[in-house]
Amino acid sequence: TWTPAAFVETTVETMKEQIGDGKVVLGLSGGVDSTVAAILLNKAIGKNLYCIFVNNGLLRKDEFESVLHQYKDMGLNVKGVDASERFLEALKNESDPERKRKAIGNAFIEVFDDEAHQLTGVDWLAQGTIYPDVIESVSVNGPSVTIKSHHNVGGLPDFMKLKIVEPLRMLFKDEVRRVGKEMGIDSELLGRHPFPGPGLAIRILGDITAEKVRILQEVDAIFINGLKKWDLYDKVWQAGAILLPVNSVGVMGDERTYEKVVALRAVESTDGMTADWVNLPYEFLQEVSNHIINRVKGVNRVVYDISSKPPATIEWE
């Protein structure tokens, strides 16, 4: 029978043999899969694993700093790269969802390639690919390090010419979490909701500006912290906020306002393929909505998304 302990033992042994004294580069995303893959490799080859954690400026509020700190605490050899400006620039005036994804994917490849280039003697690229990614084979368009078919071989970034190591490719998500737990990874990190590679860019409908990112980060933080405070976070598969490209009329004191609308989304799911909206308590929604409107400048209306997938998708873009 499969046990996390046996998996860790055999995988570490196999990777030691396979990689030997070789150097490995790995892109951390802050998510469960890349983190578990990194810790496994760290056990096998230690400082010969070079992790790169890119801030695309589209992460949750304060996430880059806090997750980078966690990675260092876990003993990983990790470099944090703040490329926020570069991603914002790549996204400038772009409103089309797929073009946003492509711009982010390309910016990620450029940043990662620049960084990988500075490392000498690297011969492996590690990825946190898990079994569902393997069978889906049409890989996510996000800034995962998955090799894209449209890159012709001659023009490949350097890191794409590396040999690939994917220690989790036979595992399902729940098994990845069990392996992570076995290796002592913090349960809060292992229990994190899925977060899309393109981040808040696909939750800001229309074009992206630094100001919109800031507004959505504030709204999202109030929502997510509220879920934790009300002990609802672990009962929800994924949650987040969406900044809509419309203004609505409101009133504050004697003043008429004309400000942004945000939607809150929380779903139950097992794999993201289908999903049901979560029946969150009215008292919770009331508290969160009040906090958002009172504290986040530029937002005067909050709505709750009551659509399931299909026919809606989890993300709005």
Scanning 32-40, 138-146, 248-256, 297-305 for contacts with ligand XMP by CB under 6 A, the matching segment is 138-146
> In terms of DSSP H, where are the helices of the chain?
4-19, 32-45, 63-73, 84-91, 97-118, 131-136, 173-182, 187-190, 210-229, 282-295
Give the list of residues 6+ apart from residue 65 with CB closer than 8 angstroms, or none: none
> Helices 282-295 and 210-229 meet at what angle, rounded to 10?
150
97 binds ligand XMP (CB under 6 A): no
What are the tokens at 214? 């800031």
- Give the chain's radius of gyration (CA, Å): 20
Query: Residues 70, 84, 95, 141: which binds ligand XMP (CB under 6 A)?
Result: 141
H or E stretch including 248?
strand 238-252
Can residue 201 be called a binding residue for ligand XMP (CB under 6 A)? no
Binding to ligand XMP (CB under 6 A) within 170-189 occurs at none
Write down how long the chain is. 317
Residue 35 is assigned to a ligand binding site: yes
- Report the nearest approach of ligand XMP to the CB of residue 88 (Å): 18
Which three-class secondary structure state does DSSP give residue 77? coil
Q: Which of residues 101-120 bind ligand XMP (CB under 6 A)?
A: 101
Residue of 198, 208, 227, 266 interacting with ligand XMP (CB under 6 A) = 198
Q: How would you label 107-119 residue by residue, b for 16+ Cβ within 10 Å and e otherwise?
A: bbbebbebbbeee
Among 196, 200, 226, 292, which residue interacts with ligand XMP (rule: CB under 6 A)? 196
Q: What is the pattern of x (binds ligand XMP, CB under 6 A) and - over residues 223-252?
A: ---------------x--------------
Q: Does 272 bind ligand XMP (CB under 6 A)?
A: yes
- Min dist CB 282 to ligand XMP, Å, is 26
142 is a contact residue toward ligand XMP (CB under 6 A): yes
Strands 78-82, 122-126: parallel, antiparallel or unpaired by DSSP?
unpaired
CB of 194 to ligand XMP, least distance (A): 4
29 is in an annotated binding site: yes
**Residue 34 marked ligand-binding:** yes
**CB closest to ligand XMP, residue no:** 142
Does 31 belong to an annotated binding site? yes
The answer to the question of residue 313 lying near ligand XMP (CB under 6 A) is: yes
User: How distant, in Å, are the alpha carbons of 139, 226, 245, 292 from that of 304?
Assistant: 30, 15, 16, 13
User: Is there a binding annotation on residue 66?
Assistant: no
Pick 170 or 236: Cβ nearer ligand XMP: 236
How far, in Å, CA of 132 to CA of 172, rounded?
7
Residues in contact with ligand XMP by CB under 6 A are: 101, 140-142, 194, 196-198, 238, 272, 309, 313-315
**Residues marked as binding for ATP?**
29-35
